[in-house]
């Protein structure tokens, strides 16, 4: 049937004219229609749809880093919009270059004053790290290995002898030196009723007396204290503020440590705490080892001082006993011949 309608064959086998005209008319109509215009946005949308259709269900198409960089340059993890204050330049974040850390350790059986003093230093110094109590008092060189495992550059070790004498060691791990102090007149922040206060983790100014430049031993101690008590700039646990001053003064053969708050810009101070007095005993060239560089000739051990004081007390008791015996004796001896010759 289809072949007969299309061809319209006659008896002679020629096609009918009407059928040819209608076919030619249809062809002309199709030629007059304008071609379809495909927009580039639609092409991209279609390509994205094809990509998502080809993926398995529950997974997303992964974009390359190059396309991410071109499309969203500000959404990269390392690129941030500049922060500008009122009419000022863009704030540049300083780098944390000083990686010095302090390890604070206490001995087994330390007194409560030494333990609280270490806690105060840990609160003031954000670079300080605490460790469990150390039992080997005769093997202090093992503290170097503990400091290396904790990635610390300095060690502050506090120990108690005879349950009443408090000593402090400050050492630089590896190269040295190390200094031993006798700690006297300790007063912690919780003990003192002081009006000063400062922000936890803020930086402070380490101020030294001019007497620290008088001899080589004090200059060495000054450099060691500068490295230990100085808060590194841009430390992750520190605050970018300077609101207190740590003062170290040399007087009467001792180092007097005080901590003050900067109340206002005029320079008024209010004491925060802690406060203590450090008397240097010896300085070694290495970290808890090595030859002795300095031995304080004016230092007297506390047991010897207590023994001297006790001997003075005993001598006082003996003097009182002699005085009592002397008072019982008569003032003068009577002569019996004095009664005959009157």
What digits encode the pLDDT tens for the residues 261-295?
998 878 789 999 899 999 999 999 999 999 999 99
Closest residue by Cα to residue 143 from 293, 296, 286, 295: 286
Name which residue leads in pLDDT, 44 or 186: 186
1-15 confidence digits (pLDDT tens): 455 445 454 445 555
45-69 confidence digits (pLDDT tens): 555 555 555 545 544 444 444 444 4
Q: Are 183 and 166 in contact (CB under 8 A)?
A: yes
What's the topology of domain 102-295? Answer: Rossmann fold (3.40.50)
| Rounded to 5°, angle at Cα 75 from 71 and 81 | 115
66-80, 91-105, 183-197: least confidently modelled range: 66-80
Q: What is the C-alpha to C-alpha distance for residues 141 and 146, in angstroms, rounded to an integer?
A: 9
- pLDDT band of residue 105 (cuts 50, 70, 90) is very high
Domain boundaries, the chain: 102-295
């Amino acid at each position: 049937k289809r072949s007969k309608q299309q061809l319209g064959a006659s008896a002679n086998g020629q096609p009918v004219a009407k059928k040819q005209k209608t076919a030619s008319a249809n062809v002309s109509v199709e030629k007059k229609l304008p071609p379809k215009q495909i927009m580039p946005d639609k092409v991209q949308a279609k390509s994205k749809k094809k990509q998502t259709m080809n993926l398995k269900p529950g997974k997303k198409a992964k974009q390359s880093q190059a396309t991410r960089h071109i499309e969203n340059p500000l959404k990269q993890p390392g690129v941030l919009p500049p922060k500008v204050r009122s009419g000022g330049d863009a704030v540049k974040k300083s780098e944390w270059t000083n990686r010095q850390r302090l390890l604070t350790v206490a001995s087994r059986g330390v007194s409560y004053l030494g333990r609280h003093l270490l806690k105060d230093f840990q609160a003031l110094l954000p670079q300080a790290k605490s460790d469990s109590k150390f039992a080997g008092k005769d093997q202090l060189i093992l503290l170097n290995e503990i400091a290396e495992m904790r990635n610390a550059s300095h060690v502050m070790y506090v120990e108690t002898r005879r349950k009443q004498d408090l000593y402090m060691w400050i050492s630089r791990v590896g190269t040295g030196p190390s200094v031993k102090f006798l700690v006297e007149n300790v007063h912690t922040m919780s003990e003192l009723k002081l009006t000063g206060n400062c922000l936890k983790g803020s930086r402070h100014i380490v101020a030294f007396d001019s007497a620290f430049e008088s001899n080589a031993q004090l200059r060495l101690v000054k450099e060691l204290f500068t490295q230990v008590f100085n808060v590194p700039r841009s430390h992750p646990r520190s605050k970018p503020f300077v609101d207190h001053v740590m003062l170290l003064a040399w007087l009467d053969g001792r180092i007097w440590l005080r901590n003050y708050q900067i109340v206002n810009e005029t320079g008024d101070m209010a004491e925060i705490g802690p406060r203590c007095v450090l008397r240097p005993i010896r300085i070694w060239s290495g970290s808890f080892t090595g030859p002795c560089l300095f031995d304080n000739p004016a230092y007297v051990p506390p047991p010897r001082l207590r023994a001297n004081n006790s001997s003075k007390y005993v001598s006082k008791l003996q003097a009182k006993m002699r005085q009592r015996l002397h008072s019982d004796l008569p003032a003068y001896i009577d002569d019996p011949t004095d009664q005959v010759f009157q």
